[in-house]
C-alpha cells in the first residue's frame, strides 16, 4: 500500500468526518422542541476535539478505490443460507461475494500488548444505489436492531485508526442511539418525517421511525437466561473476559429473584459451570462468574450445542428464554463456518429460544459470526468496548428489551413514480426481502423487543416540477409483523406526504438531524 495514498485517504475521510460533526453541532444547537439521547453521540467516537483520531496511527486502512460507474459492478447475489436478496437486482452493487476483509498487517514494531487489527473478520455486503421508481416502486427490508458496527467503529477510532469500510453497516450507526419517538400502547407503530438533504440540493431525505411498546419491569414474565461464555486463550484480557465478567455481574443485579441463570463455557471443549439457578441464590451465580478463567482453543460449536441443550432443559413455557453468547466470535475447533453455526441454532429460535450475541475484544474479532448468529437466532448483536457500554447494554437496555413484541417484522415502501424519480435506502444491505415475500409470513425477518426502535432513511430524488408545497403522496409505508403471543399477523400503513417534508433543514427535528448525521458519518466511513 502506498503510504502517501493511504495517508491522503485517511485525511480525506477525517476531514469529511469533521464536516459531518460540524453539521451535528448545528443540528443540536437548534431549538426543535424534542429531545434525544444524542449528547456527545459523535463525540464519543471521535473525541470532543477530534482527538480520537491519530493522523500518525500505526494502522491505516487501505485507500478507497475510485467510485465504480453505476452498473459496472455486478450485484452481489445472496446464497441460500443468507437473508433473501434485496428488492431488485440493481438495489445493491459491490460486495465481495462472501469473501472476508483482511486489513494489512501492522508494522513489526507494534507492541503485542496493544490492540491488533490484522486478524479481524468483516464482510462486505455492497452498497445500495438509486432505484428508478418507474422500474421498481417497491422497497422491502427486514427490521434490524443490531448496533455492533457502531461500537466497533468507536473502538477502532479510540485506538487511533479508522474502521475498515467493510465493517460499516449504516443502519447500525443510525440505530445506535434513541430518538424521540412515542411508544405505542401495543405492538409497533411508525412515524414519518422528511427534509431537504443538506448534502444534495436536488434530493430530500425521509426518515421512517418504528417504535415498539414498552413493557414495565413489573409486567415482565420470568426469564431463563443461559450464558455461553468464551473462555479460550484469546479471551485472556481485561477488555475481553474481564469485561464479560463485569457485564454478567451487572445483568444479574438487574434480574428478579424468580428468574434463572445458567452458565456454559467453551474453549477446547465445552462444560457446564452453573446449572439453571434462581437469581434468589445470587451469591452462587456471582461466584460462578468470578471463577471463569481463560485458556485453550475455541470450540464455539461445542459451546453453542451445550448452551442450547441447557437452555432447552431450563425452558419456561410461561417466560422468556434467551441464550446470551459472550465472545470475540472466533471459532477454530469443530464447525467454524458462520453459515453452518447459524443454521445449527435455527430450530431452537423457532421454538422460542432467542439468541443475543455480545462481542468483546479486538484483534481477532469475528464480526461476521456474531452478526449472523444473532440474525439466525432471532435476537440482536451488540459490541461492548468499555465499562460504560457494558453498563448501558446490560443494565439499561438488555433487561428492558427481553420481551419480544414483534416477530418477523418487515417494511415495504411503495413509492409513487409520478412523484418520485429515484430513491435509495441507506444501509440494510444484508436485510433485504424480496418484494413478493412481504406478505409471505413463512419468510424470516427481524425480531423487535419491548422498547426497541428502528430508524431507516431514504434519499429521494423527486420528479421535475414537484414542489414541497404540493399535497401529493410520495408513497406509502407498510409495516407487518407477527404477535408472538397470539400468533396473529398485524399490518399497518402510513402515508408519506410531501407535507411531511420540512421546507428547510432548519425546520427539522433533532431526531431527523441526528439520524442524518449518523447516516452520513457511516457513509463516509465506508467510502460511499
| 375-384 confidence digits (pLDDT tens) | 889 888 999 9
Report the pLDDT averaged over residues 80-85: 38
**156-204: per-residue pLDDT in tens?**
888 888 889 999 999 999 999 999 999 999 999 999 999 999 988 889 9
**212-231: per-residue pLDDT in tens?**
999 887 888 999 999 999 99
- Other CB atoms within 10 Å distance of the CB of residue 152: 25
Q: What is the DSSP string of 442-460?
A: TS--EEEETT-EEEEEEEE
Please tell me the predicted confidence (pLDDT) of residue 119. 57
Q: In what order do the strands lie in the sheet with 260-266?
A: 270-278, 260-266, 223-230, 320-327, 353-360, 381-384
**325-371: per-residue pLDDT in tens?**
998 877 777 776 777 877 888 889 889 899 999 998 877 788 888 89
- CB-CB contact of 310 with 264 (8 Å): yes
Residues paired with residue 460 on neighbouring β-strands, in sequence order: 204, 423
**Rounded CA separation 274/281 (Å):** 12
**Rounded CA separation 242/237 (Å):** 6
Report the pLDDT averaged over residues 428-433: 94
Please, which pLDDT band fits residue 103 given cuts at 50, 70 and 90? very low
Please tell me the predicted confidence (pLDDT) of residue 324. 94
Question: Is the model more confident about 218 or about 389?
Answer: 389
**Rounded CA separation 292/45 (Å):** 31
Question: Is the model more confident about 443 or about 1?
Answer: 443
pLDDT above 70 (res 27):
no
pLDDT above 50 (res 259):
yes
Question: Is the model more confident about 69 or about 520?
Answer: 520
**Rounded CA separation 123/119 (Å):** 13
**468-519: per-residue pLDDT in tens?**
888 889 999 999 999 998 899 999 999 999 988 998 898 999 999 999 999 9
Report the pLDDT averaged over residues 44-59: 39
**263-303: per-residue pLDDT in tens?**
999 988 889 999 999 999 999 999 999 999 988 888 888 99
**Rounded CA separation 276/282 (Å):** 12
Going by C-alpha positions, the residue among 344, 368, 366, 371 that lies closest to residue 356 is 371
Amino acid at each position: 500500500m502506498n503510504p502517501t495514498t493511504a495517508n491522503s485517504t485517511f485525511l480525506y475521510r477525517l476531514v469529511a468526518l469533521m464536516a459531518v460533526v460540524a453539521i451535528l453541532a448545528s443540528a443540536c444547537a437548534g431549538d426543535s422542541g424534542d429531545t434525544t439521547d444524542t449528547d456527545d453521540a459523535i463525540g464519543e467516537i471521535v473525541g470532543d476535539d477530534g482527538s480520537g483520531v491519530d493522523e500518525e496511527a500505526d494502522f491505516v486502512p487501505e485507500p478507497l478505490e475510485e467510485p465504480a460507474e453505476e452498473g459496472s459492478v455486478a450485484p452481489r447475489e445472496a446464497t441460500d443460507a443468507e437473508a433473501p436478496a434485496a428488492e431488485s437486482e440493481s438495489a445493491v452493487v459491490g460486495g465481495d461475494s462472501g469473501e472476508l476483509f483482511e486489513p494489512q498487517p501492522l508494522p513489526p514494531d507494534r507492541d503485542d500488548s496493544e490492540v491488533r487489527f490484522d486478524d479481524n473478520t468483516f464482510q462486505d455486503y455492497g452498497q445500495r444505489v438509486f432505484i428508478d421508481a418507474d422500474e421498481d416502486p417497491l422497497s422491502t427490508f427486514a427490521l434490524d436492531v443490531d448496533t455492533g458496527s457502531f461500537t466497533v467503529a468507536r473502538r477502532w477510532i479510540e485506538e487511533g485508526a479508522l474502521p475498515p469500510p467493510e465493517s460499516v453497516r449504516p443502519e447500525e450507526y443510525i440505530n445506535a442511539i434513541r430518538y424521540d419517538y412515542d411508544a405505542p400502547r401495543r405492538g409497533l407503530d411508525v412515524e414519518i418525517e422528511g427534509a431537504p438533504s443538506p448534502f444534495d440540493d436536488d434530493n430530500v431525505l425521509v426518515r421512517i421511525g418504528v417504535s415498539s411498546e414498552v413493557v414495565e419491569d413489573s409486567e415482565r414474565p420470568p426469564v431463563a437466561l443461559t450464558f455461553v461464555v468464551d473462555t479460550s486463550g484469546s479471551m485472556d484480557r481485561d477488555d475481553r473476559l474481564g469485561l464479560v465478567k463485569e457485564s454478567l455481574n451487572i445483568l444479574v443485579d438487574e434480574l428478579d429473584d424468580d428468574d434463572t441463570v445458567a452458565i456454559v463455557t467453551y474453549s477446547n471443549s465445552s462444560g457446564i459451570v452453573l446449572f439453571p439457578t434462581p437469581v434468589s441464590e445470587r451469591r452462587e451465580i456471582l461466584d460462578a462468574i468470578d471463577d471463569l478463567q481463560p485458556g485453550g482453543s475455541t470450540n464455539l460449536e461445542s459451546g453453542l450445542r451445550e448452551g442450547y441443550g441447557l437452555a432447552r432443559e431450563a425452558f419456561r413455557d410461561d417466560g422468556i428464554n434467551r441464550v446470551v453468547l459472550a465472545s470475540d466470535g472466533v471459532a477454530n475447533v469443530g464447525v467454524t463456518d458462520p453459515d453452518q453455526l447459524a443454521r445449527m441454532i435455527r430450530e431452537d429460535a423457532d421454538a422460542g429460544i432467542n439468541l443475543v450475541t455480545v462481542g468483546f475484544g479486538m484483534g481477532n474479532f469475528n464480526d461476521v459470526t456474531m452478526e449472523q448468529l444473532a440474525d439466525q437466532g432471532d435476537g440482536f448483536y451488540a459490541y461492548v468496548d468499555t465499562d460504560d457500554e457494558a453498563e448501558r447494554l446490560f443494565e439499561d437496555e438488555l433487561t428492558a428489551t427481553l420481551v419480544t413484541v414483534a416477530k418477523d417484522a418487515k417494511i415495504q415502501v411503495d413509492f409513487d413514480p409520478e412523484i418520485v424519480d429515484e430513491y435509495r435506502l441507506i444501509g440494510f444491505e444484508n436485510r433485504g426481502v424480496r418484494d413478493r415475500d412481504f406478505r409471505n409470513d413463512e419468510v424470516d425477518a427481524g425480531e423487535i423487543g419491548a422498547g426497541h426502535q428502528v430508524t431507516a432513511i431514504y434519499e429521494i430524488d423527486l420528479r421535475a416540477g414537484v414542489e414541497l408545497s404540493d399535497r401529493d403522496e410520495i408513497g406509502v409505508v407498510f409495516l407487518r409483523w407477527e404477535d408472538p403471543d397470539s400468533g396473529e399477523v398485524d399490518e399497518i400503513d402510513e402515508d408519506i406526504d410531501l407535507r411531511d417534508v420540512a421546507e428547510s433543514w432548519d425546520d427539522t427535528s433533532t431526531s431527523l438531524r441526528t439520524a442524518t448525521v449518523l447516516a452520513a458519518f457511516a457513509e463516509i466511513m465506508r467510502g460511499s
